[in-house]
Structure 1
Amino acid sequence: MYKRSVENILKEALEISPCVLLSGARQVGKSTLCLSLDREYRVFDNLTQREAAKYDPQGYIASLPKPIIIDEIQKVPEVIEGIKLAIDTNRVNGTFLLTGSANVLDMKKTKDTLAGRIVEIPMYPLSQKELHHKPNENIVDILFTKGVEGLSLEKKSYHKVMQAILNGGYPEILKIDTPRGKSLWFNAYISTYVERDIRDVGELRDISAFIRFFNIIAPRSCGLVNKSDLANEANLSEATVSNYLSMLEMIYQVSLLKPYTSNVSKRFIKSSKFFMNDSGLLSHLLGISSVEELMESKHKGEVVESFVYNELQKHIGYSLTQPKIYHYRTNDKKEIDFIIEKADKIFAIEVKSSQNIKKDAFKHIIDFQKKSDKEVVGIVLYAGEQRVSFGDEEHIRVGLPLSLFF
């Protein structure tokens, strides 16, 4: 069993708030973590519990022993009102620990957002740091407090790095040794959990159209969101595309990364960038089942970049620093994969899937450094094994191996 980076954050949240929502995709380990805590447990996957809660949400909540874990809260969002009333009647920190594989606070059926009564904590698939038993080593915090020199680099072979990217971070997939077994698990995950949760969060009249759309968007990971193109390719209306994307965000399967805008340039591309939230599931949807297939795939760059985004998302989500992350693209085709910003400090990060890099890999970072009035550290993440410097007297620019996530 892996110790999770979110565990200490969760315990602290329970000490300061009467209600805590631990939210994240199915099968990331929410229930396993919650069950390790010493408290009563109810799950809305159980039909009896679900029906009782829907019939009399206030009475159901009042009857529960406290403190309590309520699992899969998105299945009965009606109980939110009962939880609110219980907290207002007897406010005790740590009383309710809720889990959800859909963002219950955004759901239409939710009557009250529990403002002032709840702390929401995201939980992601396993990070490489968690897998390597370093759950408290946060790359983002290290970057902002110690700089690139503070990062510890784990030596990993190219093959092992690619295999980790291919696996992704779902705990159950890491127990399976064969490509066929992994494929069977991912197929079951989509049909059992993704389809079910989509039905929980919104009206879905045509499941076949949704699954077709889900397969169409996978090759677009790392690309700009163009709803018109998606609508044409999937033979759907733009309104339906917007609805499907919104629902996929609500069940934590995809993310839309906002563009960076500042006085650096007035010619920014304003579209968000689309990412699948797990490189293993993305690889499966692209039909990639081995390292050899990944290395030969035309989508190799997108899979590697998605992996980096997934890892950065985890580290930012669990960080003390809590910076913002964006993508950068201008009308004259200057592009930087990720901009991580906090106050007057920026880390501009480019991702390369190759094992070697040249100064040319930093060309758009160099342009950005010249234009920005903030401190900008340039990083190119690549599949090699060495830390290499490309900086000058004014700016830090460094190539770092992808193994820094391990």
Structure 2
Amino acid sequence: MKNGFPAIAILGPRQCGKTTLAKYLADQIPSSIYLDLETDIDRLKLSEPELFFEANKNSIFFIDEIQMLPDLFRYLRSVIDKNAVNGQFFLLGSASRDLVVKSSESLAGRVAFIEMNAFTMKEVQSVSNDVIKYWYRGGFPRSYLADNDFLSLEWRINFIKTFLERDIPQLGFQIPSTLALRLWKMSAHYHGQVVNFSSIANSLGISHNTVRKYLEILSETFMLRLLPPFVANVSKRLVKSPKLYIRDSGILHALVVVDNFNELMGHPLFGSSWEGMVIENILNHSDHWNTGFYRTSNGAEIDLIL
């Protein structure tokens, strides 16, 4: 973990293992307190945050789903400044750094951000070198570790449903779940391609600005990646729109209803699925790099530039 900061924010998608990690770390620290802000009882404990933190001032706090209580950040600043203890607060959230930063400006200089994603190929190699299994199922722990491909696919389908119907509204976004599902599925068919916002908007019967807004929400919640074009003043004819990737290959395959790897081999997204998986694995192990792709109007392309 990063040293020198009173608070450490661990951000990543739902079900990637943040809670498991937090509970494991909490078990190793006798004075720790774990709070899950999705539960009413833990939110009630923080109804008087200054009193709660004062009563437990010598504890290490693990606060899960921090985005559920954005007003908490302003109280954390006073506690952090008063206690002056590094590593006293571990903040876990399912919203991206950009979303959380909007609510945590008062913690500037006091919090370090760590992004935690689903398993990478490098991480699962200690269990198995089965690239095909990892590629088809993706890296979400319950999908990858399922007893068979059917149960893995079932988990991913339920994940998509729950994410759209429960998680997105809980994060404060008002998007009709049926429209969000159509957009997500259409995005899957654009996987590995330069985004045509107008084409998607026309297909869904909404404005291109609304499409941009919704895609940004899916990006901010770690479901897709909008890879920007590499900016260089080489030519005005460079492609300017981002490329779209569904970040987890297993979720991609569930969105396009690919039941097994044999079906994937015959699917039009076979090549771009591999491309996306490779790019996501590279970027998950490439912190602090500016990323992008390069493509000219005549089709010359570099898939990833760091």
Q: Same fold (TM over 0.5)?
A: yes
Query: Which residue in the other structure is 2:294 paired with?
Result: 328
Does the C-alpha gap of structure 1 residues 111 and 92 become closer, same or farther in structure 2, counting only changes over 3 Å? closer
Alignment of 1:76-95 (within 5 A): 76-95=69-88
Does the C-alpha gap of structure 1 residues 234 and 113 become closer, same or farther in structure 2, counting only changes over 3 Å? farther
Does the C-alpha gap of structure 1 residues 199 and 62 become closer, same or farther in structure 2, counting only changes over 3 Å? farther
**Alpha-carbon deviations, 1:66-97, whole Å to 9, x = none?**
21100111111111111112112222100100
CA contact (8 A) 1:77 1:104 kept: no
- Cα distance in 1 between the residues matched to 2:235 and 2:133: 39
Deviation at 1:259, TM superposition (A): 0.7
Deviation at 1:61, TM superposition (A): 4.2
- Total equivalences in the alignment: 300
**Residue type at the aligned position of 1:180:** F
Query: Which residue in the other structure is 1:316 paired with?
Result: 286
Deviation at 1:208, TM superposition (A): 1.6
CA contact (8 A) 1:231 1:241 kept: yes
Does the C-alpha gap of structure 1 residues 205 and 220 become closer, same or farther in structure 2, counting only changes over 3 Å? closer
**Alpha-carbon deviations, 1:177-227, whole Å to 9, x = none?**
323212210121112234322112233152221122112211111111222
User: Aligned to 1:34, what secondary structure does the other structure show?
Assistant: helix
CA contact (8 A) 2:63 2:92 kept: yes
Question: RMSD over aligned Cα, in angstroms?
Answer: 2.2
- Cα distance in 2 between the residues matched to 1:234 and 1:63: 53
Does the C-alpha gap of structure 1 residues 238 and 64 become closer, same or farther in structure 2, counting only changes over 3 Å? farther
User: Aligned to 2:167, what secondary structure does the other structure show?
Assistant: helix
1:117 aligns with one of 97, 110, 115:
110
Between the aligned residues of both structures, percent identity stands at 31
**Residue type at the aligned position of 1:299:** L
Deviation at 1:118, TM superposition (A): 0.5
Structure 1: gaps spanning 5 or more residues:
1-9, 135-153, 341-406
CA contact (8 A) 2:169 2:175 kept: no
CA contact (8 A) 2:118 2:139 kept: yes
User: Aligned to 2:285, what secondary structure does the other structure show?
Assistant: helix
User: Aligned to 1:316, what secondary structure does the other structure show?
Assistant: coil
Query: Which residue in the other structure is 1:48 paired with?
Result: 41
- Match status 1:208 vs 2:178: yes
User: Aligned to 1:177, what secondary structure does the other structure show?
Assistant: coil
Query: Which residue in the other structure is 1:130 paired with?
Result: 123
CA contact (8 A) 2:64 2:91 kept: yes
TM-score (ref. length: structure 2) = 0.90
CA contact (8 A) 2:138 2:249 kept: yes
Deviation at 1:244, TM superposition (A): 1.2
**Residue type at the aligned position of 2:255:** L
Alignment of 1:117-266 (within 5 A): 117-133=110-126, 160-266=130-236
- Match status 1:20 vs 2:8: yes
1:36 aligns with one of 2, 8, 24:
24
- Cα distance in 1 between the residues matched to 2:239 and 2:90: 41
Deviation at 1:272, TM superposition (A): 1.0
Deviation at 1:98, TM superposition (A): 0.5
Does the C-alpha gap of structure 1 residues 205 and 304 become closer, same or farther in structure 2, counting only changes over 3 Å? closer
Deviation at 1:242, TM superposition (A): 2.0
Query: Which residue in the other structure is 1:278 paired with?
Result: 248
CA contact (8 A) 2:133 2:144 kept: no
**Residue type at the aligned position of 1:23:** L
CA contact (8 A) 1:61 1:79 kept: no
Query: Which residue in the other structure is 1:383 paired with?
Result: none
Query: Which residue in the other structure is 1:75 paired with?
Result: 68
- Cα distance in 2 between the residues matched to 1:329 and 1:176: 39
- Cα distance in 2 between the residues matched to 1:205 and 1:259: 28
Q: Greater CA radius of gyration, 1 or 2?
A: 1
- Cα distance in 1 between the residues matched to 2:116 and 2:76: 22
**Residue type at the aligned position of 1:97:** F
User: Aligned to 2:294, what secondary structure does the other structure show?
Assistant: strand
Deviation at 1:257, TM superposition (A): 0.8
- Cα distance in 2 between the residues matched to 1:62 and 1:192: 37
**Alpha-carbon deviations, 1:230-257, whole Å to 9, x = none?**
1111222223212211211221111111
- Cα distance in 2 between the residues matched to 1:60 and 1:98: 16
- Match status 1:98 vs 2:91: yes
Deviation at 1:113, TM superposition (A): 4.7
**Residue type at the aligned position of 1:132:** Q
- Cα distance in 1 between the residues matched to 2:9 and 2:298: 43
Structure 2: gaps spanning 5 or more residues:
none
Does the C-alpha gap of structure 1 residues 32 and 333 become closer, same or farther in structure 2, counting only changes over 3 Å? same
**Residue type at the aligned position of 2:298:** D
**Residue type at the aligned position of 1:181:** L
Structure scoring higher RCO (CA < 8 A, sep ≥ 6) equals 2
